[in-house]
Amino acid sequence: MTKKNKNYDGWELGFFDKSKNFRNYQLNLIKNYLKNNLAEVGPGNGANLNLYYRYPKKIDLYEPTKNLYLNLKKNFKHKKIKLFNKKFNSNIKYDTILYLDVIEHIKHDVKEIKNAFKSLKKNGYLIISVPAFQHLYSNFDRDVNHYRRYNKNDFKKILKRIKYKKVNLFYYDSIGYCLSLTSKLLISNYKKNFEKKIIFWNSLIWFSKFLDKITFNFFGKSLLVIIKKTK
């Protein structure tokens, strides 16, 4: 587990927010579960919200970082959206709870997941996307306060502590995996031409989608976990 970088300010979010091909791919994987009363934890600048906004009837956003909360408050004004400048800890019951590239930033991840599961309605969905495979852990992960990366077995161990569930786990973005591995092995300074690297990766998402299909989601840069509360 990495030590927290106290100087971290979310500098990378703006680059990834512009990665529309990846965001759309991610949305297509989860859109069927985005219904009724939804909460997103750690929405950042709202890049995902812009894409899934039309699906749920009501949206609660929990953003504990003050400057990101203020950006959301400024840019998203609609009666179906409610903002909270705090960590997720709610007595409200939701049909869907989203953690998209957030859990890896949380030190006590098991506690967070168990708490979120308790806030689901019956037949509700907890949707989590995280960086995959600890062997890809790099200086980038450290610098943006990723405590860890995950594989399927990591989540299977976590989910053994949660009752009444139906779970689907799969990797996605195989090209992202290849690029991340190459970067870790061959590139000493990942920040050099960082924006160009993100643009290049995003331009190859079409190929990633194809490769994910023919490899049956055997590997990928990210892991998607969809948990259904059945009781």
Q: Please give the sequence-ordered ranges of beta strands (E in DSSP) within 18-119, or none if there are none.
A: 37-41, 58-62, 81-84, 94-100
DSSP percent split of the chain into helix, strand, coil, nearest 5: 40, 20, 35
- The residues near 108 (Cβ < 8 Å, ≥ 6 apart) are none
Contact 155, 169 (CB under 8 A): yes
pLDDT (mean) for 216-231: 95
CA distance 43 to 33: 17
With a cut of 70, say whether residue 11 has pLDDT above it.
yes
Query: What pLDDT sits at residue 90?
Result: 82
Q: Is the dihedral of CA 10, 226, 176, 198 positive or negative?
A: negative
**13-42, pLDDT tens digit by residue?**
888 999 999 999 999 999 999 999 999 999
Task: Take residue 37 and report the two structure tokens written for it.
Answer: 């009363």
With a pLDDT cut of 90, the percent of the chain lying above it is: 81
**77-125, pLDDT tens digit by residue?**
888 999 999 999 888 999 999 999 999 999 999 999 999 999 999 999 9
Query: What pLDDT sits at residue 115?
Result: 93
